[in-house]
């Protein structure tokens, strides 16, 4: 399973899609990568475990919590 985008979509340009393996060199912040692999899901219990680990004891922000969830999903 590749972790590289197979295309790029520009939501500022009426949803223009480029089927190229490289990020376009003009306005790169306007391009969003599209991936071919299915999303990995976490169970409610796994999300609660991450919340218990990160939110309560560390008093972290929502971004740290979101990154922890993404890391856990990538491990699956």
pLDDT tens figures, 45-57: 998 888 888 777 6
Q: Is the pLDDT of residue 29 over 60?
A: yes
Mean pLDDT of 19-43: 75
- Residues 17, 27: contact at Cβ < 8 Å? no
From the list 32, 35, 36, 37, the residue with the least C-alpha distance to 15 is 32
| CA–CA dist 21, 59 (Å, integer) | 39
pTM above 0.75, yes or no: no
DSSP string, 3-63: -S-SEEEETTTTSEEE--SS--SSSGGGEEEE-SSPPP---HHHHHHHHHHHHHHH---HH
Task: Name the more confident of 30 and 46.
Answer: 46
């Amino acid at each position: 399973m590749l972790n590289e985008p197979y295309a790029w979509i520009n939501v500022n340009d009426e949803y223009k899609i480029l089927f190229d393996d490289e990020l376009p060199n003009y306005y790169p912040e306007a391009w969003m990568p599209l991936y071919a692999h299915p999303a990995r899901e976490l169970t409610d219990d796994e999300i609660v475990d991450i919340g218990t680990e990160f939110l309560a004891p560390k008093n972290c922000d929502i971004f740290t919590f979101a990154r922890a969830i993404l890391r856990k999903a990538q491990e699956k």
